[in-house]
């Protein structure tokens, strides 16, 4: 089968390849994701449970669900999804991320199907999933609408798409670039391109144009006093997340 047109931006892939070995170091270059992960998981698990009528008190509430973690990196989200019972495919365009994720999953006793591939190629191959996780990826692709359309094609009817990204405004520039990259040095300089950030209304329009129906959005808000993240119904000024469905 002929490979689909790719929205991968080679420059963006190279950035994350250079950091691949540090995915599971909570004090390394991916420290911001380790800090954010509990908040992300809270949102993701709540949305999946609501959409598929699952009880999070069960030992494996997501059993029977096939889930794609696109842009999986080292597996920070793939692993907890597998522990909750989902059949997980983790996909990443950066080839060096895959062996890191595979080794860590094996050490953790988890069976996760990690692949060096793209959303477009998975869609062209006819892959189908109940849930597609698309976390902190859309701001790094060359063509967001084409990419989100591929994510929509990967969903079964009634499937759930969860997408997080960064708002575009002066505050997000100050926090996500100046603060995270230059002041705190949580990320290498140049990790983010402010011009590629997407406002919540722009993302909703993109999702609708990709034939997805947005059903929820919330902000991820960092508290410098407690040094932790929380979900917010109102504050989407920097990091935020959306849920949409394929009717």
Q: Which two tokens mark 7?
A: 């929205």
217 labeled part of a ligand binding site: no
71 labeled part of a ligand binding site: yes
91 neighbors 69 (Cβ within 8 angstroms) = yes
159 labeled part of a ligand binding site: no
145 neighbors 208 (Cβ within 8 angstroms) = no
Distance (Å, whole) CA 148 – CA 187 = 26
Is the Cα dihedral 15, 34, 119, 233 positive or negative? Answer: negative
What residues have CB less than 8 Å from 10, skipping those under 6 apart?
A: none
| φ, ψ dihedrals at 38, nearest 5° | -60, -40
The b-or-e profile of 123-149 (16+ CB within 10 A means b, else e) is bbeebebbbbbbbbbbbbbeebebbbb
104 neighbors 83 (Cβ within 8 angstroms) = no
179, 203, 162, 246: CA torsion to nearest 10: 180
Q: What secondary structure letter does DSSP report for 183?
A: I
Residues shown for the chain: 247
92 labeled part of a ligand binding site: yes
- Binding site members: 40, 71, 92, 135
Residues that constitute the known binding site for S-adenosyl-L-methionine? 40, 71, 92, 135
């Amino acid at each position: 089968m002929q490979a689909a047109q790719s929205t991968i931006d080679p420059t963006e892939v190279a950035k994350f390849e250079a950091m691949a070995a540090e995915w599971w170091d909570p004090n390394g270059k991916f420290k911001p994701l380790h800090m954010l992960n509990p908040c992300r998981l809270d949102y993701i698990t709540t949305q999946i449970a609501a959409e598929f009528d699952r009880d999070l008190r069960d030992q494996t509430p997501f059993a029977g669900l096939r889930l794609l973690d696109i842009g999986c990196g080292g597996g920070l989200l793939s692993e907890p999804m597998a522990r909750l019972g989902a059949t997980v495919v983790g996909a990443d365009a950066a080839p060096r991320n895959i062996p890191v994720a595979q080794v860590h999953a094996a050490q953790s006793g988890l069976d996760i199907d990690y692949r060096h591939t793209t959303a477009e190629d998975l869609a062209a191959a006819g892959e189908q999933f109940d849930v597609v996780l698309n976390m902190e990826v859309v701001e790094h692709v060359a063509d967001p609408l084409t990419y989100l359309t591929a994510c929509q094609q990967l969903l079964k009817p009634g499937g759930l798409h969860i997408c997080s990204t960064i708002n575009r405004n002066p505050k997000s520039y100050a926090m996500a670039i100046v603060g995270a990259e230059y002041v705190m040095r949580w990320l290498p300089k140049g990790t983010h391109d402010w011009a590629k950030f997407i406002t919540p209304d722009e993302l909703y329009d993109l999702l609708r144009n990709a034939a997805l129906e947005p059903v929820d959005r919330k902000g991820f808000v960092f508290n410098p006093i407690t040094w932790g993240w929380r979900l917010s119904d109102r504050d989407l000024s920097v990091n935020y997340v959306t849920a949409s469905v394929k009717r």
